[in-house]
Structure 1
Amino acid sequence: MYDDAADKSAGAILVTGARWVVAWDPDSGGHVYRTGADVVFEDGVLIHVGADYAGPPPARTIDASGCLVMPGLVDIHTHLFSEPMNKGMWDEVGSQRLYNTSLYEYLPILRPDAEGTRAAYGVALAELALSGVTTVCDLALPSDGWLDRLGASGLRVCIAPMFRSGRWLTRNGHSVEYEWDAAAGQRGLEQALAEIEAAQRHPSGRLSGMLCPAQVDTCTAELMRDAYAEAVRRDLRFHTHAAQSLSEFHEITRRTGMTPIEWLDDLGVLTERTIVGHGIFLDDHPWTHWHSPGSDMRRLAERGATVAHCPTVFARRGIALHHFGRYRQAGVNMGIGTDVYPHNMLDEMRLVAYLARVVAENPRDTRAADVFHAATVGGARALGRDDIGRLAPGCKADFVLVDCAHPAMRPCRDPVQSLIYSAGDRAVRQVFVGGREIVRDGRALTVDYAAAAAALEEAQGRALAQIRQLDWAGRGPDAIAPPTFPGL
């Protein structure tokens, strides 16, 4: 298992012999390939990226022969505490009378217990690290020991404890109701602030926080404004789910006469510190047919907000952003998240590109460079950071070694394309966060992935036994999500 003390060598550490390095070019403001380049770090910070290192002799050398060295990926939208348990249940399930979303009818009825939550964290954190993620945003419900669990992962984690003024539910599978408790929302905000303060004090030094009123349709205007005011006062980022379902779009327009994005703007909470989770159903999405097409996109771009794009969970239900390239071309900052199992950032990046081209009906609309930018500096910008998501002196030593000799990477004419479109996490050899190794030879050092997965399977069994009591129609798991073939 992970030995934190083993990575505290004094002096500079040289990463040498790389076949390629994805370095940051300040002149162009983008990533570039470098050959014949070394990466040197000291005390968790990069001090040299390029050829001709002339500093003091390194205290240690990391052999990167035959590898691509690239910046660690930045995942800006996850639910680590719950999503891993949903595997095998919601892969092909969506409410056909609620525009195929699974939010209201299904997600609330599969509930992890405390042990299940711990196992879910283990599985998700391992999958993130194995797919090259070094920074992740955890949109979660606080649980016992969660900060220590995140700290022990070796990852850089921005916690986002969710809170809301009410909960959604359906009693019939075709209409969404809301049960309101404004006081609970305010208490949730106070608890979130306390959790964030604890994260900032955590001895790992890698935890931070953001404020997350959970969903645009479950929070009052007062709670949204209060949370945003605290974000400004404490210099935190602000994250909420908005424009994530057609039912939510209709609900907000019914309540306010405005789209979800327009309402956030009207409240004064749509700014450069705001991350919009999903942001799919804008006023010009083909499914909304709203009267002001294009206004939402202009608001997102002009206010400097970020959209956290998580294609997998929606693609499973026949839903897609319209479309990644269009947002990028409009000037919207785009980041990428793993909203759902598997927490494999490289898989998510591949789907970003493919779905964008399908929806745009244009194979040139979104390229690997656009996706890689969103998964690195786009995510870093969303978090208000310029010291992650890129390899340049002064940045954190968060980097990934990709084995270019792996069969799935070959032919390796263009290593980033081979990684995204072909090899994925199979070629990730080593991952470092702050110069500390958390993945070696494709194995997570900080989490027992196999043990967590075994515990998660047992916890899912306990949760499945409760579904009939929680489902509005009293259905069992097989009635809701039939097995692929009969006889299971």
Structure 2
Amino acid sequence: MTITVIRNADVVVAWDAQAAGHVYLYGADVAFEDGKILFVGERYAGTADEVVDGQGRMVMPGLVNIHSHPSSEPLNKGFLDELGSPALYNSSLYEFMPILRPDAEAVPDCVRVAYSELLLSGVTTVADLSVPHPDWLDLAAQSGMRVCLAPMFRSARWHTRNGHVVEYEWDEKAGADAMAQAFEVIARAEAHPSGRLFGMVCPAQIDTCSEELIKESYAEAGRRGLRWQIHAAQSTVEFHEITRRHGVSPIQWLEKLDVLGSTSIVGHAIFLDDYPRNAWHSRRDLDLLAQTGTTVAHCPTVFMRRGIALRDFGRYRRAGVNIGLGTDTYPHNMLEEMRNAAYVARLMAESPRTLSTTDLFEAATVAGARALGRSDIGRLAVDCKADLVLVDLDHPMMQPRRDPVRSLIYAAAERAVDRVYVDGRLVVSGGEVLTLDYPAAARRLHEAQKRTEAAAPRNDWAGRPVTDYSPLTFPEAGQRASGARS
């Protein structure tokens, strides 16, 4: 086995077990072997096969992303940046996303692009919520990341035939069959020789899954010792649909089904019963999340594009809710997502004190690890996984660097990420991904997006060209000239 030592790092974000928190260590060493951390502290005295100069570097734990959709989201760049259905409370879920989907040929490149962006922004563990696709396990293993595969399944698909009413097409047998397939994928992931793949159970959305599918998936997750995640309280449409069906909020419907708990993650959980625009009569949801130990997967970027926001990160945390972070949308940049989480929370709270950078960093590390049932990631401590990130403190965007984690999150982001190790293996060096061809995959997605745009009118209830609802920032020159003449 090879022992690697990062020697004399300017700063190490180490784990203090007694204080149960991260601390700054200055002029420290980090040693690891066979995918595990051997030493964190001053002057490692053991043998070393490889020595990495830590001067001018900060060593920090790899980030843990608990909610992401790599198989589809990279293709949405340029389509959904400012698009939401005006008659569906500005969500893009129901009218536009179902018709702007990558074809089977494009999916592997979507995954390559998303995984690359995650690695470049310091993510070493990601929960990948995708519909199963043939290349999934191979790409996850090839990436070098620690990937939690969460194959999504559901009993119904949503659609709209007029742009203002969402309808559901139910096929409960298909949902049960898809759940069985999901468990097969998870079993293959858990048995994968890389040792870096694991699984999570994911009934896709609270409004597209039958009561039986939600309850059975949760029970089977418990029998297999797996985590469980569902999208819920993610839109006004969904809140209205669940209250219409069941007379309670989405969170309270999950409570009635007995699926909230310390092994459960709720994707988004924005539209609680006390969310102002809901004007609902109860005020129980936030306490329910806290009391049951349920985690919220917070992904601010995709919602802030539509003028929607969690109210607010600090309020949830003070209530005792475990909050982890995810990159629900493009770019899959965890450091930018952290920055957005901080700014949106402070804006919604109308106070810079609603959360600290300490809170934010914990959400992206140990809180996310807790949500995934892992105590061996998200921290730099002996016997934890050797998942770590080296940040270039000499990068101009890191200057001045009185507080390097703040400089990284609020200014430099991925530009200062120099090296990334997962399981002790170097997967990013010099700011370049070593395991995947990111530039080539990104170029191929450009052609794939043209195919998506050409196919979209056939799937649209109104048969519109994409430019009708998602026009380019500027008209083509010929169109502008023609319009001027008329």
The one-letter amino acid of 2:240's match is H
1:355 aligns with 2:359: no
Q: CA deviation at 1:63?
A: 1.6
Aligned position for 2:215: 225
Q: What secondary structure is seen at the aligned counterpart in 1 of 2:98?
A: helix
Q: 1:187 aligns with which of 171, 174, 177?
A: 177
For the residues of structure 1 that align with 2:51 and 2:229, how far apart are their CA atoms? 40
Answering whether residue 369 of structure 2 is matched by residue 398 of structure 1, we say: no
Q: Which residue in the other structure is 1:16 paired with? A: 7
**Cα deviation digits, residues 349-398 of structure 1 (max 9, x gap):** 00000000000000111121111100000100000111000000010000
What are the Cα deviations for residues 261-282 of structure 1, in whole angstroms up to 9, with x where unaligned?
0011110100100010000000
Aligned residue for 1:74, secondary structure, equals strand
Deviations for 1:319-342, whole angstroms, at most 9, x for unmatched residues? 000000000000000000000000
Give the Å deviation of 1:44. 0.5
For the residues of structure 2 that align with 1:102 and 1:127, how far apart are their CA atoms? 23
1:434 aligns with 2:423: yes
Q: Deviations over 1:195-248 (max 9, x none)?
A: 000111112111000100000000011000100011000000000000000100
Percent of aligned pairs with the same amino acid: 60
| 1:479 corresponds to which of 468, 474, 484 | 468
Alignment partner of 1:111 out of 101, 106, 109: 101
2:404 corresponds to 1:415: yes
Q: Distance in 2 between matches of 1:424 and 1:111?
A: 29
Inter-partner Cα distance in structure 2 for 1:407 and 1:52: 29
Contact residue 228 and residue 269 of structure 1 kept, 8 A: yes
Matched, 1:263 2:253: yes
Quote the Cα distance in structure 2 between the aligned partners of 1:28 and 1:200: 33
CA distance in structure 2 between the partners assigned to 1:109 and 1:393 by the alignment: 48
Task: Name the counterpart of 2:242.
Answer: 252
- Measure the CA separation in 1 of the matches of 2:103 and 2:163: 25
Aligned to 1:215: 205
Contact 1:79 1:139 in 2 (8 A): yes
1:43 aligned to 2:40? no
Q: 1:344 pairs with 333, 340, 345, which one?
A: 333
Instruction: Indicate conservation of the 8 Å contact 1:81/1:118, yes or no.
Output: yes
| 2:193 paired residue among 203, 207, 210 | 203
The equivalent of 1:324 in structure 2 is 313
After superposition, give the CA deviation of every residue in 1:58-83 in whole Å (9 maximum; x if it has no partner). 11111221111000000000000000
Number of residue pairs matched by the alignment: 477
TM-score by length of 2: 0.97
Check the 8 A contact 1:75/1:338 in 2, yes or no. Answer: yes
| Partner secondary structure for residue 265 of structure 2 | strand
Residue of structure 2 in register with 1:306 after alignment: 295
* 1:373 counterpart = 2:373: no
Q: Which amino acid aligns with 1:304?
A: G
More off after superposition, 243-252 vs 197-206:
197-206
How far 1:149 sits from its partner (Å)?
Answer: 0.8
Q: Which amino acid aligns with 2:49?
A: A
Distance in 1 of aligned mates of 2:127 and 2:344: 23
Match of 2:480 in 1: none
Amino acid at match of 2:13: V
Q: Matches of residues 51-62 of structure 1 in structure 2 within 5 Å?
A: 51-54=42-45, 56-62=46-52
Matched to 1:433, the amino acid is V
Verify: 1:234 aligned to 2:224, yes or no.
yes
Pairwise CA distance, 1:47 = 1.1
Q: Name the counterpart of 1:100.
A: 90
Aligned partner of 1:321: which letter?
L
The residue aligned with 1:447 is 436
Q: 2:140 aligns with which of 144, 147, 150?
A: 150
Q: Which runs of 5+ in 1 are unaligned?
A: 1-9
Say which of 275, 289, 294 aligns to 1:285: 275
1:463 lines up with 2:462 in the alignment: no
How far apart, in 1, do the equivalents of 2:112 and 2:469 lie?
27
Residue from 167, 173, 176 that aligns with 2:163 = 173
Counterparts of 1:25-44 in structure 2, within 5 Å, are: 25-44=16-35
Q: Given residue 444 of structure 1, which amino acid in structure 2 is its aligned partner?
A: V
Detail structure 1 runs of 4+ shifted over 4 Å in the superposition.
none
Q: Secondary structure, in 3 states, of the residue corresponding to 2:346?
A: helix
Secondary structure of residue in 1 paired with 2:382: coil
User: SS of 1:115's equivalent?
Assistant: coil
Of the structure 1 ranges 206-215 and 281-290, higher mean CA displacement relative to structure 2 is found in: 281-290
Tell me how far 1:52 sits from its aligned partner: 3.4
TM-score (normalizing by structure 1):
0.97
Cα distance in 2 between the residues matched to 1:116 and 1:183: 28
Amino acid at match of 1:463: T
Q: Is residue 17–residue 66 contact of structure 1 (8 Å, CA) maintained in 2? A: no
Partners of 1:52 and 1:424 lie apart in 2 by 29
Aligned partner of residue 110 in structure 1, secondary structure: coil
* RMSD of aligned residue pairs (Cα, Å): 0.8
Question: Following the alignment from structure 2 to structure 1, what is the Cα–Cα distance between the partners of residues 476 and 448?
Answer: 23
Amino acid aligned to 2:459: L
Per-residue CA deviation, residues 171-207 of structure 1 (Å, 9 max, x unaligned), is: 0000100010111111011000000001111121110
Quote the residue 1:424 is aligned against.
Answer: 413
Gaps of 5+ in 2: 478-486
The residue type paired with residue 14 of structure 1 is V
1:76 and 2:66 matched: yes
